[in-house]
Structure 1
């Protein structure tokens, strides 16, 4: 819990910590409380030692080790990547010992939203026609089609949110066996089957490795009124493919427009949890506030997907303890170990410093970043672990293995079925997604004020002492219901999302 004294310049997160966090910029010589004098100028969001820490001893934040003192540290010292060193230490995984199932509300007491009911029982938050390509060679056709169906041409279809091209750079010159092709195909099929996708047109060149017959067979997809295919080499080239695509999409628009919003239980909402451009406040306001909202969502029967595996490294033992079973916990550790092997010898944050923006915002290393990022998942138990873009079938809190790079991570979550993305940021990431809209959560008031055009909720009210985390969680949950019901998010107003479709480009290109 954040503990904030009236007008205090610092925040103490746990009585057992040996650091506090600067709520505002603090000048050297300032008494920050209880006789603790800042020995340096401390940027907002950064840490101050509250007691002497001998070289090699742990630095504790949220009663969790975030690193070790690189030198003897005196009380009042600025703590950051120059004197908080990342090192390996023995972790107690405590598999499933802290598992707490969601305290489900009775069905007649669950919140509702206005969504699009699909034939398979799922409920969408948006109603899109998607244009998908099996290979990058078909990208121009897809782009021309989505650009043709602009706002003016869609005016006759008020129940359709848009026609979107999902363009990528893969599909040929890549590994056919094993994970690379399987990953691309399940990502594409996850979007095609998505509850926010009313209809899909799949466009191919015709000679690529990921050709339509093989793709459709591998993913058990069948053509029909709202699932169509188009091969450029067969139809006669680019112009002919564009003309035929227009005709097909007009037919699908007529059908998609017959669907309208109707009441649905919040149990049908699936939220992908993202953070980007994190700072020292992210783990104090936006992330735990979102965690409170996810505790509410799972009580109402909904689903939350915690991801970005490399950015959970360092606190994985706190998550295995919350796993539903030892088997689920070990699945997560298997993914962590895969990432350690994948990152071996590479200049990435698992082996060193976090990104420049994270570092400037007060995060010393990936362990501290993970400590804050994991709080997006709230306090309920973890029911399942999924590989990238696998269909999420368990409700409650789950983990999906994804990279930390936001567009790739969110793409995997949406392919898995996420109908909304909640994205926390401290530095001010500008991100959007389709067909699942993104809600942006600012960790601090100065950034929210500066970037109000991109941010949906100011979580800095917790840092300012104007709101509790519980109240913030309710505000976020209410916003989720409103956006799920059709209220446009800031990123949707800006037209963000089409270029953020980014399947994970793993494997060899040759």
Structure 2
């Protein structure tokens, strides 16, 4: 029978509605009856006891808020009667003992990836265009239009066809309002170019708004970020476009690439516009040299690789009240499986770990890692407070509407993506992952800035959970979307790859869901399945300027 409510942890003093509940409904739980004082929408919470002002609200077994007014037993818990609260005096207190999941059936499994000279393995084989400054974005757009269309990498032509149909109808004096969107998107007459280079999964472009005009520190950080993308395991070759006079000089970028990887030897072509005869000739030469490079990197083929070579970033965005119950802990079980197999997992979004710190600090395998996490968290929050903000202001209107009413509630549920494994290391923004195991990576919670940062640290796949629906991907890292609820997976089936709603209905356990997710990752890493974010061309990339972004 479908369960209507859930107590996530045995010490919680709130219950979560798994379906819409009505005022005056009587809910029975553990031999106690609760008469609801309000309508309680699915994903929201109600009080298990009477609270007075200042009483602690416990969820996931930790402090997530305090009552700001009297709250009756059975009353809705929301922003009008509680505020964020969490333990902010965290420090490493205990050694952490972990029982890894049984991975016997996975130990001999492999995926078909691209083995690089340094031993890392890519899940895709991309050619990457990098501008050192925003002045070159337009030139990148010209090249993008030319290469993607002709080489078979352009996204669906259906929108161009839709415009053609509108133009045709208008010329024939047909009322365009009578044409349905379904008719406009019919694709039966669309011709898609075959790919000339079957072993190249895409040609990608890192358009950005930096490189000059801001602070020198911003350009230096951008250089490190661009270097991390040039060195990424999913990138086979690089074309760099520079203006010439910008802050981010090509020499600085090349130095950062060599610092990151002294043995870097990918094919790389550099073009500087102020040294060129003309813009047209520079673009033509860039296209010609890149084509020659594509011929070479197309010779690289996928080969069987152990699952220990996978590096998966875990991310949530557009979260809801079910995210911390279904999709996030299911991904957490996948994370534990991969860590037990010797792989790498990256958990980031530091503003969305606010309230979960003590558990994470205790899981750090060294005091140095725990201290680094503590320092980065407190410095980041202090920077936010200095401009009148703070981590506590992180939940978005959409989060709050769907049950994530304090940052601690959001954060503790978000941290579930990291499973229960020990934390091997803590990485600052753009620091590369070099050890096996679970890592914490300092990034904002902002969807694109966070995925940008995970890829910078080395993620070759990203598992992205959502309860509301977020059309986000990454330019070099295939991003897999998982819904926390089946209604979303049905409504936005064009962007969702995996439906975790069966955990809510009781049709699947978290362990079963986690194993399904790992199976999907193996297929995506092998190129057998193309995640929808890749099919849709969701090649998002936003550098973090280290200012206040939550």
> TM-score normalized by structure 2?
0.87
The 8 Å contact of residues 354 and 365 in structure 1, kept in 2 or not, is answered as yes
The verdict on how the C-alpha distance between 1:19 and 1:255 changes in structure 2, with shifts beyond 3 A counting, is same
Distance change (3 Å), C-alpha of 1:61 and 1:485: same
Deviation, 1:209, is 1.1
Render the CA deviation track for 1:235-260: whole Å, top value 9, x for unaligned: 23422221011111111110111011
Higher Cα Rg: structure 1 or 2? 2
Determine which of 174, 194, 200 is the counterpart of 2:214: 174
Partner of 1:11: 6
Report the secondary structure of 2:46's partner residue.
strand
2:342 corresponds in structure 1 to 301
How many Å separate the matches in 2 of 1:147 and 1:381?
46
- Aligned residue in 2 for 1:191: 229
The partner residue of 1:22 within 17, 22, 26 is: 17
Unpaired runs of at least 5, structure 2: 153-194
**Separation in 2 of the partners of 1:54 and 1:61?**
17
Q: How does 1:107-506 map to 2 (within 5 A)?
A: 109-154=107-152, 155-177=195-217, 180-220=218-258, 226-346=267-387, 348=389, 350-352=391-393, 354-486=395-527, 487-497=529-539, 500-506=540-546
Task: After TM superposition, give the deviation of residue 348 of structure 1 in Å.
Answer: 4.2
Provide the rounded CA distance (Å) in 1 between the counterparts of 2:393 and 2:250: 42
In the alignment, which residue of structure 1 is the partner of 2:178? none
CA distance in 2, matches of 1:460, 1:33: 24
Cα offsets for 1:283-308 (capped at 9, x unmatched): 00010000000001111111110000
Unaligned runs of 5+ in 1: 1-5
Deviation, 1:426, is 0.7
Which structure shows the higher helix fraction? Answer: 2
1:3 aligned partner: none
User: How far 1:345 sits from its partner (Å)?
Assistant: 4.6
The question of whether the paired residues in 2 share the 8 Å contact of 1:128 and 1:435 is answered with yes
Question: Does the Cα contact within 8 Å between 2:227 and 2:256 map onto a contact in 1?
Answer: no
Asked whether the equivalents of residues 172 and 209 of structure 1 are also in contact (C-alpha less than 8 Å), the reply is yes
Number of residue pairs matched by the alignment: 499
C-alpha contact (below 8 Å) 1:408/1:501 kept by paired residues: yes
Q: How many Å apart are 1:121 and its aligned residue?
A: 0.9
What is the CA-CA distance between 1:49 and the residue it aligns to?
Answer: 0.8
Matches of 1:501 and 1:389, distance apart in 2: 14
Distance 1:104 1:412 in 2: 31
Report deviation, 1:103.
7.0
Change (3 A) 1:99 1:348: farther
- Asked whether the 8 Å contact 2:484–2:501 carries over to 1, the reply is yes
Q: Which moved more, 1:211-220 or 1:273-282?
A: 211-220
The Cα offsets for residues 157-189 of structure 1, whole Å up to 9 and x where unpaired, read as 011111111111111123335xx3332111101
The correspondence of residues 47-58 of structure 1 with structure 2, limited to 5 A, is: 47-58=45-56
Q: After superposition, give the CA deviation of every residue in 1:476-497 in whole Å (9 maximum; x if it has no partner).
A: 1111111111110011121211
RMSD across aligned positions (CA): 2.1
Structure 1 CA distance, aligned partners of 2:278 and 2:26? Answer: 73
Secondary structure at the aligned position of 2:236 is classed as: strand
